[in-house]
Amino acid sequence: MWAGMLESAVMSRLSGSASTLADHAAAYAEIIAADLEASTRSAARRLWMSALMIVSLIFSLGIGCTWLIAATWDTSAHLPVMIGLLLLGILTAFVALQLLNRERRLAPRLMALTLAEWAKDRSMVKELLSANYPADT
């Protein structure tokens, strides 16, 4: 008789816990999906900006260099113009690198929302355990 009541109480408690755990797992799945979506958007945006920047720079520098070299070819300024174009290319590459590094620093941390929720849950579980099982001192 007592065993049947105990078994019934344990089963009802397990049923409630399983339901809570399933709801919690579903909430984590939503948070993980949101994290992945944000990270994917950021990575795609950076990739698109990088590709656009590279194509634009190559085209602009190619046309500009060709025009300047052609315009100064028969003068004594063609060598300084070529050196200036080389330095401009190096400066442009450095600025592009700085912009990409800034974008990388500002990008959202992968799985940031999920990690924050896990930290909250760990804290809550620790509090519950310490309240239910106080340390014997």
Residue by residue, pLDDT tens for the chain (137 residues) are 555 666 676 666 667 677 777 777 788 788 888 878 877 887 888 888 889 888 887 888 788 888 888 888 898 988 888 888 888 888 988 998 898 888 888 876 666 777 787 788 788 878 877 776 666 54
* Whole-number Å distance between alpha carbons of 99 and 101: 5
* Whole-number Å distance between alpha carbons of 37 and 104: 17
Instruction: Outline where DSSP puts E strands in the chain.
Output: none
- The C-alpha R_g of the chain, in whole angstroms, comes to 31
Give per-residue pLDDT as tens, 11-34: 666 676 777 777 777 887 888 888
The CA distances from residue 105 to 37, 48, 51, 89, in Å, are: 18, 17, 19, 24
Number of neighbouring beta carbons within 10 Å of residue 39: 16
Amino acid (1-letter code) at residue 41: R
Picking from 86, 91, 93, 90, the residue whose alpha carbon sits closest to that of residue 69 is: 86
DSSP state of 135: -
Break the chain into its structural domains and give their ranges: 8-115
The answer to whether 57 and 96 are in contact (CB under 8 A) is yes
What integer pLDDT is reported at residue 29 of this predicted model?
Answer: 83
